[in-house]
Amino acid sequence: MIAPGSTLGILGGGQLGRMTGQAARSLGYDFVVFEPQDHCPAGHIAGLEINAKYSDRAALELLANSSDVVTYEFENVPVEATHALEKRVTLHPRPEILHICQNREREKNFLRDNDIPCAPFAIVDSLSDLENALATIGTPSVLKTAAFGYDGKGQLKISQENPDTAAVWEQFGKHRAVLEGWMDFSMEISVLVAANEQGEISTFPVAENIHTNHILDYSIVPARISEDLQRAAEALAKDIARKLGLVGLLGVELFVLRDGTLAVNELAPRPHNSGHYTLDACVTSQFEQFVRAVCGLPLGSTKLLSPVTMVNILGDAWIGRDPDFAELLKHPEAKLHLYGKAQARPGRKMGHFTVLADTADASYQLAQDLKTKL
């Protein structure tokens, strides 16, 4: 166990690192952030902010020397940096998990090799690969870059039955990719699962997710699905955590298919946007659970205290004017969280708010009403 009073190092300085650091401080830990860009959201409250490239060995050594345990808050950290760190300091989740989850090809292969349900897929590295993949998988389908994709970036849907494959491959940029069969789903959900070195595994309540322009818009909890399906989603998340050998936190995104079965969409080995509701509606937040897991503390209760809806606030709300938070702040069961980002851009996550209510439907309706007043 890495006891309170120790120092947590975080690779990445965005809002997930910021909220993880806030949770660490509440538990009595100091924290250090390593982020290439200065004045990052997590750096505002860190005991030490290290600004350097992830390939800077001297800076990585400073992080290792300044920390008792290191983790990361997003997938796009070069795995080489984590391999260098694990030789000097305790690091969770292990680099192999990062290596799998930061690349769609490796992630899909992991799912298939472990008999975890997911979309049919094929690896595409040339025009002939694309033609062969389409002949097997058919349309509609989605072509996705193998590496570094998030919030719908690096994706191209192919709908027509006999597409001009040469034009598609040219439009996509001829990047190594994964072609996935289109999933006929009724809903997108997610489950957060935490595990520590002592073998404890715990899941948070299932979130129902609504996306707009490929970016998460609302997370509604509890998800409006049957108890059997909730249990199945939680069991699947735990199974994935065990097969990965997880120590830390994992976000598991899933499709609820029309036939009532589940298929995994993506994995994220860190706090997840759809888990922000836990800050205000659970006994233990996802960020506290993350700290507990990587530090070897007992895991906290994930009990849901109230139905809740989380709403992302994007930089679009600042276009032409500053958003008016007055109505939101007036509501006694709405909670505002801003991330301290200096510049607002369309599609950039600037903050979120949650709304608690007696039922999931009531919280979602109120969340929609409050969003329109921003």
Mean pLDDT of 66-70: 98
Does residue 313 share a domain with residue 172? Answer: no
- 131: which residues sit within 8 A by CB, 6+ positions away? 165
Residue 319: pLDDT band by 50, 70, 90 thresholds?
confident
Residue 264: is its pLDDT beyond 90?
Answer: yes
Does residue 362 share a domain with residue 225? Answer: yes
Q: Chain centroid to CA 134: how far?
A: 29
Residue 149: is its pLDDT beyond 70?
Answer: no
Domain boundary among 154, 181, 208: 181
Does residue 340 share a domain with residue 205? Answer: yes
Instruction: Please give the pLDDT value at position 218.
Output: 98
Residue 153: is its pLDDT beyond 80?
Answer: no
Query: Do 254 and 189 meet the contact criterion of CB atoms below 8 Å apart?
Result: yes
Query: Do 336 and 238 meet the contact criterion of CB atoms below 8 Å apart?
Result: no
Residue 43: is its pLDDT beyond 90?
Answer: yes
Residue type for position 237: A
Edge to edge, the sheet with strand 69-72 lists 48-50, 30-34, 7-11, 69-72, 90-91
Give the whole-angstrom CA distance, residue 315 versus residue 279.
Answer: 22
Distances (CA, A) of 111 to 143, 218, 335: 18, 27, 37
Task: Name the pTM for this structure.
Answer: 0.94
Residue 334: is its pLDDT beyond 90?
Answer: yes
The CATH number linked to 302 is 3.30.470.20
Residue 279 structural domain: 185-372
Q: Which residues on adjacent β-strands are paired with residue 189?
A: 208, 254
Instruction: Please give the pLDDT value at position 175.
Output: 86
Does residue 56 share a domain with residue 29? Answer: yes
Give the whole-angstrom CA distance, residue 149 versus residue 145.
Answer: 7
Instruction: Please give the pLDDT value at position 58.
Output: 97
Per the domain annotation, does 21 fall within a domain?
Answer: yes
Give me the number of domains the chain comprises.
3
Query: Do 299 and 286 meet the contact criterion of CB atoms below 8 Å apart?
Result: no
Give the whole-angstrom CA distance, residue 183 versus residue 169.
Answer: 22
Mean pLDDT of 197-224: 97
Query: Do 296 and 1 meet the contact criterion of CB atoms below 8 Å apart?
Result: yes
Distances (CA, A) of 222 to 58, 206, 258, 305, 358: 46, 6, 20, 11, 11
Q: Which residues on adjacent β-strands are paired with residue 360?
A: none
Instruction: Please give the pLDDT value at position 138.
Output: 92
Residue 322: pLDDT band by 50, 70, 90 thresholds?
confident
Mean pLDDT of the chain, nearest integer: 95
Give the whole-angstrom CA distance, residue 253 versus residue 266.
Answer: 5
Residue 91: pLDDT band by 50, 70, 90 thresholds?
very high
Does residue 195 share a domain with residue 174? Answer: no
Residue 321: pLDDT band by 50, 70, 90 thresholds?
confident
The CATH number linked to 31 is 3.40.50.20
Domain boundary among 40, 73, 91: 91
Per the domain annotation, does 114 fall within a domain?
Answer: no
Does residue 264 share a domain with residue 165? Answer: no
Does residue 157 share a domain with residue 36? Answer: no
Residue 374: pLDDT band by 50, 70, 90 thresholds?
confident
Q: In the chain, what is the straight-line distance between the N-terminal and C-terminal CA atoms, in Å?
A: 44
Does residue 219 share a domain with residue 310? Answer: yes
Residue 152: is its pLDDT beyond 60?
Answer: no
Residue 151: pLDDT band by 50, 70, 90 thresholds?
low
Does residue 166 share a domain with residue 126? Answer: yes
- 226: which residues sit within 8 A by CB, 6+ positions away? none
Query: Do 202 and 302 meet the contact criterion of CB atoms below 8 Å apart?
Result: yes
Domain boundary among 164, 181, 198: 181
Per the domain annotation, does 324 fall within a domain?
Answer: yes
Mean pLDDT of 210-229: 96
Residue 150: is its pLDDT beyond 80?
Answer: no
